């Protein structure tokens, strides 16, 4: 998985590309989010548009990241969720946990900055 | 000549994989080849391969604990339009009844414990058992002319 971070109006947008699966991307996601949290970032938006595959391990890492950011007083939200990943979150009732956006400007504005 | 002649039963395909996550995609690829030419939508195929991924990851991580001296044994076949995949590890086993419900409110935000749930959601039948040769065996079954719903 490839990751890159950009800042837009006080929001750290993490663009992901590739797989978030066991042994390939799951730990990388956690480490990237942890680094942002350590750097004091509180508004984090994960752009999932180019995520091709996710498994239960990747879902677990997403949930762990959500908890880490929330516990530090931040907000972690999702952008451009591919339909099959949305399905995977829906069947485990996690879709209601995350704020999910289809447009980046709307997502950035939602942080209230 | 009939253009709608169903493909013949296929398999079994048998593999013995080392306990590396990298091998998951090789098994998925072979399963995909086994499904070629059959009456199975890309959507259904996607969920079958996800369930297969979960079962293999379970065998490698929890069964064999990534011990490279232990193997994961896979057998796949299509018989009368039903896909059956058997995955056996060489670990000490677990009690599937004791796996917690990932939908329970107290488990919703746990970082693990969803793999078996996904297998059961995306396949028609998932059975667990102790194999006579040792280790746990998971048997995944999918009727190929049925949708996920």
CATH of the domain at B83: 3.30.565.10
Separation of alpha carbons B89 and B93, rounded Å: 8
pTM of the prediction? 0.92
What pLDDT score does B148 carry?
47
Q: Tell me, yes or no, whether B91 lies in a domain.
A: yes
CB distance B112–A24 less than 8 Å?
no
Inter-chain touch A55–B109, beta carbons under 8 Å: no
Burial of B64 (0-12, 13-18, 19+ CB in 10 A): buried
B28, part of any domain: yes
Q: What is the count of structural domains for chain B?
A: 1
CB contact under 8 A, A60 and B111: yes
Q: What confidence score (pLDDT) does residue B6 get?
A: 56
Asked if A56 lies within 8 A of B114 by C-beta distance, the reply is: yes
- Of A25-29, B3-7, B129-133, give the range with the top mean pLDDT: A25-29
Residue B4 has pLDDT above 60, yes or no: no
d(CA A61, CA A25): 9
DSSP letter for B118, please: H
Is the pLDDT score of B38 beyond 50?
Answer: yes
State the complex-level ipTM. 0.92
Total domain count for chain A?
Answer: 1
- List residues of chain B with CB under 8 Å from any CB of chain A: 20-22, 24, 46, 50, 53-54, 57, 61, 102-103, 108-112, 114-115, 117-118, 121
At residue B27, the pLDDT reads: 97
* pLDDT confidence of residue B94: 76
Distances (CA, A) of A50 to A79, A110, B83, B88: 11, 22, 30, 33
Q: How would you class B105 by CB atoms within 10 Å of its CB: exposed for 0-12, middle for 13-18, buried for 19 or more?
A: exposed
> Would you say residue A70 has pLDDT above 60?
yes
Share of chain A above pLDDT 70, in %: 99
* Predicted pLDDT at B79: 87
Please tell me the distance in Å from B62's CA to the nearest CA on chain A.
12
Residue B84 lies inside a defined structural domain of this protein: yes
Burial class (CB in 10 A: 0-12, 13-18, 19+), B22: exposed
Residues of A whose CB is below 8 A from B117: 56, 91-92
Residue corresponding to tokens 């947008």:
A13
Domain region containing A88: 2-109
Res. A7: pLDDT tops 70: yes
**Is-contact A38 A32, C-beta < 8 A?**
no
| Least trusted range by pLDDT, from A7-21, A29-43, B124-138 | B124-138
* Tokens representing residue A29 in the block: 């996601």
Q: Tell me the CATH number at A76.
A: 3.30.750.24
* Residue B70 Cα, gap to closest chain A Cα (Å): 18
Q: Which residue in A has a C-alpha nearest to residue B111's C-alpha? A: A60
* Residue B2 within a domain: no
**What's the pLDDT tens digit per position in B46-84?**
999 999 999 999 999 999 999 999 999 999 999 888 999
Cα angle at A100 between B112 and A34, to 5 degrees? 50
Alpha-carbon dihedral angle through residues B14, B16, B20, B22, given to the nearest 10 degrees:
-40
Please answer yes or no on whether A60 and B121 come within 8 Å at the CB atom: no
**Best mutation site among B19, B114, B147 for testing chain A: the one with the most A CBs within 10 Å?**
B114
**Per-residue pLDDT, B2:** 44
Q: How many CA atoms lie within 13 A of B85 on its CB side?
A: 28
Q: What does the pLDDT look like over B91-117, one tens digit per residue? A: 988 777 788 999 999 999 999 999 999
Using an 8 Å CB-CB cutoff, list chain B residues near A51: none
Domain that residue B120 falls in: 10-143
Pairing, β A43-54 against β A75-79: parallel
Residues from chain A that touch B62, judged by Cβ atoms under 8 A, are: none
Contact across the interface for A22 and B110, Cβ inside 8 Å: no
Q: How far apart (Å, rounded) are the C-alpha atoms in residues B149 and B144? A: 12
At A7, list the tokens.
Answer: 């800042």
- Residue A60 pLDDT greater than 80, yes or no: yes
């Amino acid at each position: 998985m490839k990751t890159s971070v950009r800042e837009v109006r006080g929001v750290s947008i993490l663009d992901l590309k590739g797989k978030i699966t066991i042994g390939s991307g799951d730990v990388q996601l956690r480490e990237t989010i942890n680094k942002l949290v350590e750097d004091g970032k509180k508004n984090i938006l994960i752009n999932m548009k180019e995520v091709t595959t996710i498994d239960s391990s990747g879902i677990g890492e997403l949930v762990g990241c959500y908890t880490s950011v929330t516990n530090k007083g931040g907000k972690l939200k999702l952008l451009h969720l591919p339909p099959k990943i949305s399905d995977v979150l829906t069947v485990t009732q996690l879709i209601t946990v995350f704020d999910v956006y289809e447009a980046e400007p709307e997502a950035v504005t939602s942080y209230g900055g | 000549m009939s253009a709608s002649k169903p493909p013949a039963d296929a398999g079994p395909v048998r593999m013995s994989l080392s306990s590396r996550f990298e091998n998951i995609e090789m098994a998925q690829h072979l399963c995909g080849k086994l499904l070629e030419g059959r009456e199975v939508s890309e959507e259904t195929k996607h969920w079958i391969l996800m369930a297969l991924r979960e079962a293999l990851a379970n065998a490698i991580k929890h069964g064999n604990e990534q011990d490279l001296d232990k193997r994961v044994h896979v057998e796949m076949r299509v018989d009368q339009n039903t896909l059956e995949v058997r995955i056996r590890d060489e670990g000490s086993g677990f009690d599937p009844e004791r796996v917690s419900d990932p939908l329970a409110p107290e488990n919703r935000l746990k970082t693990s414990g969803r793999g078996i749930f996904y297998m059961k959601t995306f396949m028609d039948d998932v059975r667990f058992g102790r194999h006579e040769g040792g280790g746990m065996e998971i048997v995944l079954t999918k009727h190929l002319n049925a949708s996920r719903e």
